[in-house]
Amino acid sequence: MIFFTESYRLAFLGGLLIGVAALVLLFLNGRILGVSGIIGGLFNPSTRREPWRVFFLMGMLLGGLVLKTLLSFPLGNSLERPTPILILAGVLVGWGTRLGSGCTSGHGVCGMSRLSPRSLLGTVIFMLFGILTVWLLKLLPGGAV
């Protein structure tokens, strides 16, 4: 049974933790856990003076350090992409999530759970375009994936 392999268990366990984190943020602060929105708000004069945004991001970095040092979980850099591709990807993700008002956390977890039609559609679209992009990359000479 593939469902009992470690990577499935960890995926589910991590998912539960993500859900709990989002729920606690809602219960205590009344906020939606959406990373692109939390970052984007820091660049907007009307929401810039909300220090909780910075604290949340610092918590994420702290969590990253715990993963790296105490738990020795693999972080990032497992995929070697050329520099221009990485920059292009960052620009598209930054712009796209702000224009579309959400990313995997805001639309994919919180919005989907609330059955928000915008989030359902947004999630379907970014998954489809992600799948399409990975497929097209493999068609390139050298098969980038």
Partner 1 sequence: MKQNMSALFCGVLFSLGLGISGMVQPQKVTGFLDLFGSWDPSLIFVMFGAILVYSIGYRVVIRRKIPLFADNFVIPTKKEIDWRLLLGSSLFGIGWGLAGYCPGPAITSFVSFGHSSLLFVSSMLVSMFLFEQIQIRKAKS
Site for partner 1 in 79-108 (CB under 8 A): 79-81, 83, 85-101, 103-105, 107-108
In the block, tokens 């489809």 appear at 128
Q: Is 142 in the site for partner 1 (CB under 8 A)?
A: no
Contacts of 123 (CB under 8 A, 6+ apart): 104, 107, 108, 111, 112
Residue 1 is a binding residue for partner 1 (CB under 8 A): no
What whole-number distance in Å separates Cα of residue 7 and Cα of residue 18? 16
Does 4 participate in binding partner 1 (rule CB under 8 A)?
A: no
141 is a site residue for partner 1 (CB under 8 A)? no
Local structure of residue 43 (DSSP, 8 states): G
Does 140 help bind partner 1 (rule: CB under 8 A)? no
Determine, following the binding rule CB under 8 A, whether residue 49 of this chain makes contact with partner 1.
no
